[in-house]
Structure 1
Amino acid sequence: MGKKRTLSGLLTKNKLLLVFFVVSTIVVSIMAPYKSYLMQWLIDSSSKEEALKYLIYGIAIVGISHLSEYACRKSYCKIATSSIAHVRDCIFLNNFDSNVENGSSESSGDTLSLLTNDLKLIMDEYYMSIFNIVLWGGMGLVAVCMIASISPALMVLSLIMTLLPIIIPRLMSKRMSESRKLYSTDMAKYTGKADELIRGFEALMTSNGKKYYCDCHQIASRRVFESEYKMRDTTNLAFIFTSLATWIPSIAILVGGVLLVFEGKITIGYLITANSLTNFVIAPLRSASTAYVSLRSVSSIKKKVEEAMNREIKPSGTKHIEKIGTISLKNLSFTYPDSTIPALNHITYSIKDGGKIALVGPSGCGKSTMLKLLFNYFDNYTGNIMINSDELREITRSSYYQRVTMIPQKPYVFTDTVYNNLCLYQQYSKEEINDAIERAGLNDFISSYPEGLETMLTEGGDNLSGGQIQRIALARALLQHSELILVDEATSSLDVEITRAIMNRILDLDCTVVVVTHDVFGDYMDRFDQIIYLEDGSIKEQGDFKHLKELEGRFAKLYDGLVL
């Protein structure tokens, strides 16, 4: 992997904008405390004309100060928000480029929390803290130098006294960081549980699950409340100590200045200026030290985000394929990571180019696992999956997924038009779209709506029937010109007539098709080139429909039992 990306490194991505920010920050750091001299100029003026001249200078300085502050804030805002957008894109891209196993196994709550709560903390407590440290720290440093021009003794005193606002945040930073990390973890758990409960709302509502719904949410919500309260209480304590410490330099410098006036070393005008400059030391250092507290407190979140940005993507192979032809499984075995019992055990069979295969058998026999392996869902199997003459693990995911499509039991339908749900924002000709719609049997559905392809669908396809959702998934696969279509229980929740219509359309396709199904009662079963009966992760029977019926074995009993 190349150079690791860091959150601080993203701030330097736009060099021109960074230079503009630095220049405008330097200007405001000088001009803002420089305003303190206005009172001294007016008091020590020798004439009315000189006082008027200094007043005009003062107004100009105030204007330049505010304009440059707006410029530095605006430029940094663009830098920081662009950096956050880059982080989001980076995390999403890494998630998509990882294999299906990793992408599916990650908690949706963790990912959503990372992209929302954690990135908000990074923006508010990390990026904006850096801004405040640079702006206010620079302003405070310039103010200290200006105090030195009035009296070196006052400068030394101010430097000694301002150490307190820097030491206290460092002492509090570990406690702050731990409370932030706990809050982030609990928020991720809450987000995941809330997402789970909302998705299960219908099932819980229809099965008297209100108590479970409320109790689960209350437990998760209470945990977040406690960790958030602890985090904010710790933050408040650190801020109070820091705020108290930043007032000590002001008092010390005022006392020292008064003594210098009585000794005749500075004028009253310079004392007023020094006192005003002290405010440009106190307020900036308070802001800078407070920002430092925030910066240190999100160190664990920063580490988490940077790990997500730099997550190492497991290589997907180096070979590119131009076409999926013959598929051969040779002594294929697979065991899930958390299990000791093989899900598949010594599977060997071949699928010819354009072949139609049905995988049948009791629940848990390994049908869906075999489909996942063919989809390159897992790569830690033993044996071989040969695509033409190449091992699947050696083929790049990008070239493989351009030629294979899986149609799951509940396909992905999102809030957008039918057109975009079919095309997934890719460009296809009108002829290709019409052909896919016709072959998938979507003509009647689309023509029944005045908006046609521009008809809006809702998330999950709530305004569609099960058959319509499956036809959309089928049309989507046809548009992608897939050479291998994997169908996982796509008709399990559909009635007999719709199941028959969907299955026949799938079997009419001029590509290789592998179907996992419990629905072996249809008259379409004899259209499969080969039916493979699995049990306990092993092939018990295989052959065409006629052969397996005449065999009068496991498949025949399953088929006869369902038909009867």
Structure 2
Amino acid sequence: MIKSFFKSNYKYTFIFIVSTVIGGALVACGSYGLTPATDSLKSLDTKKFILWIVVITIASAGGRVLQFSAGYLFTKQEQEYFHNLRKKLTNHYYESKPVDKLSNMQNRLTNDLKIISDQALDPVSNVVLCVVDLVFSAYVVLTFNFWLLCLILVLAVIMLYLPDLLSKQLEKATNEVSSNYSKYIDTIEKWLAGLAVLQRYRSKTKLSAALARSSSGLEKATVIRDKKSVELRNLTYTANMVAQGAVLLATGLLVLNHQLTIGTVMSIANFSSLIFSQLVNVTSQIGSIKSTRSLADSVMKEIKELPNSEKKEDSLTNFDTLSTHGLVLQYPNGEKIQYPDIQIKAGEKVLLSGDSGTGKSTLFKMILNEIKPTQGKIVFKDKLGKILNPDYSQIGYIPQDPVVFPGTIEDNITMFNSKLNKKAANWAQKVQLATDFEKFPDGIKTVVDLDKNNLSGGQRQKIILARTEVYNSKIILIDEGTSAIDSVATEQILKNILKEPATVIFIAHNLTDEMVQLFDRRINLSK
């Protein structure tokens, strides 16, 4: 991921590195100036002392300004990179069949990317800054004394290997946080979806207990991760203090042996503090980066793999039959739904009935490839008997709970395709939606307000019915799609839909005998 980040904008990467290097060189010059400044103070040369103080101040300030500016540019590039990552992940989820769980998508697009930002890419900026400071500082120390540099390098190598003692544990703890966050989001989604029902039956205690139980796993995982982070910081900080003490002791001995001037002590003290403090940063940041390695790899794998993108989809224009063969779906609790073998011909209008729990809605989701059967298969064939890999966008689906989007009623019928606006008005009339427009000042141009819920359940169902017809779906699956519409309007809607050439499979419980007679046949599912 780090490599792809730097490749995402070569211009920003170049400016970031150049600014960091020049800034590091200026900071090193400022620290080097402490030696002649101290020596001039010792020799009572006031002008020289003041001159060196000015040079030190300008060099150090200028260097840090350049490095801070480079950090800003890095952040800008990082946000652009994550914007593109989110687009690619969204594309991945859009192409995925079956559709991934909502909680998994929410976790990936929010929490996981934040973890990677905080614990992988942000540390990279610090590591580059620290490495530049280390290189220049090491060079300046070399100009003072070769063996002093050797001591610093030996201590530096020891400190660089410290993160390996805890990096695996920290990586495991980070993955646990991601996993528990996903479970927590899933719990919120499942329980808060029925918040109105919980309120009606005053089940606040159960809601609180369920959310608390789920959040406790996330809280424990976060505490464990932070504990491992603190252990790593404590280890590196202790090593930092020991190393600085060793270098100062060695410098003092060299001064006592007249191999270094007293002014050198100031520079060496500053450089050793800088070197080992930056090494602490580097080791901590490397440990942080390593802890997100598997998480970052899984994100990059998702954006590189687009499920079903290589397999060609067949148009349903010449669709002839839809059949099920030995279809079985088994749930984790052991419950099993076993379906009879069914064959439906193109153009047929079929009423699908059966008691609750016989798997009518589940059958629709398997036809749509949103759920994979445990056993058996669903086969689409064309008029020549060739098995098709169907283009599922040509299958219209009206679920029990219709989905509408922020936009106008017209947008929701056409799914934001303005070329279909004329057909939208026509089908709005056929599904009895035009009479509802009289209640809205802007008619079909009325904006759907999901917060204020300005559409009734029946109006939403009519929008989805019109949407399915506008797109000329070859197969239409209707799951209680008129349950919120009155019987008079339902009968008229059925007549308009069933006279179209599309294959229609309809699940309903509230149809009159006259409505049932409109279908070619009835398939009854049983347990």
| TM-score (norm: length of structure 2) | 0.88
Structure 1 CA distance for aligned equivalents of residues 2 and 442 of structure 2: 46
Deviates more, 1:115-124 or 1:272-281: 272-281
Among residues 448, 471, 482, which one is paired with 2:473 in the alignment? Answer: 482
Q: Which one of the candidate residues 29, 32, 43 is aligned to 1:34?
A: 29
Tell me, yes or no, if structure 1 residue 224 matches structure 2 residue 218.
yes
Instruction: Give the distance between the partners of 1:522 and 1:54, measured in 2 at CA.
Output: 101
The residue that corresponds to 2:170 in the other structure is 176
**Does the alignment pair 1:318 with 2:312?**
yes
Give the superposition deviation at 1:44: 4.5
Query: d(CA) in 2 for partners of 1:143 and 1:390?
Result: 76
Deviations along 1:58-108, one digit per CA (max 9) or x if unpaired, are 454235413421332123213322232233222222222122xx21xx433
Of 398, 415, 419, which residue of structure 2 is paired with 1:424? 415
The alignment partner of 1:450 has SS state of coil
Greater displacement, 443-452 / 263-272: 443-452
Identical positions, percent: 20
- Deviation sequence 1:220-264 (CA, Å, 0-9, x none): 122222222222122222212211211222222222222222222
Counterpart among 253, 260, 280 of residue 259 in structure 1: 253
Q: What is aligned with 1:327?
A: 320
Query: Would you say 1:535 and 2:495 are equivalent positions?
Result: no
Equivalent residue pairs, number? 520
Alignment of 1:285-364 (within 5 A): 285-311=279-305, 313-314=307-308, 317-318=311-312, 320-321=314-315, 324-330=317-323, 332-336=325-329, 338=331, 343-352=338-347, 355-364=348-357
CA distance in structure 1 between the partners assigned to 2:405 and 2:237 by the alignment: 50
Q: How does 1:49-60 map to 2 (within 5 A)?
A: 54=52, 57-60=55-58
What is residue 21 of structure 1 aligned with on the other side? 16
Instruction: Quote the offset at 1:377 in angstroms.
Output: 4.0
CA contact (8 A) 1:365 1:534 kept: no
Contact 1:253/1:278, CA 8 A, preserved across alignment: yes
The Cα RMSD (Å) is 3.0
Residue 206 (structure 1) aligned with residue 197 (structure 2)? no
Contact 1:316 1:394 in 2 (8 A): no
Q: Is the 8 A contact 1:360 1:531 kept in 2?
A: no
Question: Aligned to 2:340, what secondary structure does the other structure show?
Answer: strand
Could you tell me whether the CA contact under 8 Å between 1:122 and 1:298 is conserved in 2?
A: yes
TM superposition shift of 1:214: 1.7
3-state DSSP of counterpart to 2:275: helix
For residues 244-255 of structure 1, what are the structure 2 equivalents within 5 Å? 244-255=238-249
CA distance in 1, matches of 2:420, 2:321: 34
Q: What's the counterpart of residue 551 of structure 1?
A: none
Structure 1: 5+ residue runs without aligned partners?
A: 1-5, 538-564
Change (3 A) 1:112 1:334: same
Q: Which residue of 2 aligns with 1:406?
A: 397
Give the secondary-structure state (helix, strand or coil) at the position aligned to 2:123: helix
Q: Which runs of 5+ in 2 are unaligned?
A: none
Q: Secondary structure at the match of 2:481?
A: coil
* Partner Cα separation in structure 2 for residue 129 and residue 33 of structure 1: 22
Q: Aligned equivalents of 2:36 and 2:402: distance in 1? A: 76
Who is 1:543 aligned against?
A: none
Match of 1:166 among 160, 181, 201: 160
User: C-alpha separation between the residues in 1 aligned to 2:110 and 2:385?
Assistant: 42
- Give the C-alpha shift of residue 273 in structure 1: 1.6
Q: What residue identity is the alignment partner of 1:290? A: S
Could you tell me how far apart the structure 2 residues matched to 1:198 and 1:368 are?
23
Tell me what 2:80 maps to. 82
- Give me the whole-angstrom Cα distance separating, in 1, the residues matched to 2:74 and 2:160: 24
Distance 2:159 2:53 in 1: 34
Q: Is the 8 A contact 2:124 2:285 kept in 1?
A: yes
Change (3 A) 1:326 1:194: closer
In structure 2, what is the Cα distance between the partners aligned to 1:521 and 1:16? 69
Give the structure 1 partner of residue 138 of structure 2: 144
Is contact 2:326–2:377 with CA below 8 Å preserved after alignment?
A: yes
1:547 corresponds in structure 2 to: none
Between the aligned partners of 2:277 and 2:411, the Cα distance in structure 1 is 54
CA contact (8 A) 1:417 1:457 kept: yes
* Distance in 1 (alpha carbons) for counterparts of 2:317 and 2:133: 66
Q: Secondary structure at the match of 2:342?
A: strand
Q: Does the aligned pair in 2 maintain the 1:412–1:460 contact within 8 Å?
A: no
| Alignment TM-score, normalising by the size of structure 1 | 0.83
Report the Cα offset of residue 18 of structure 1.
Answer: 1.9
3-state SS in 2 of match to 1:336: strand
1:523 correspondence with 2:518: no
Residue 474 of structure 1: how far off its partner (Å):
1.9
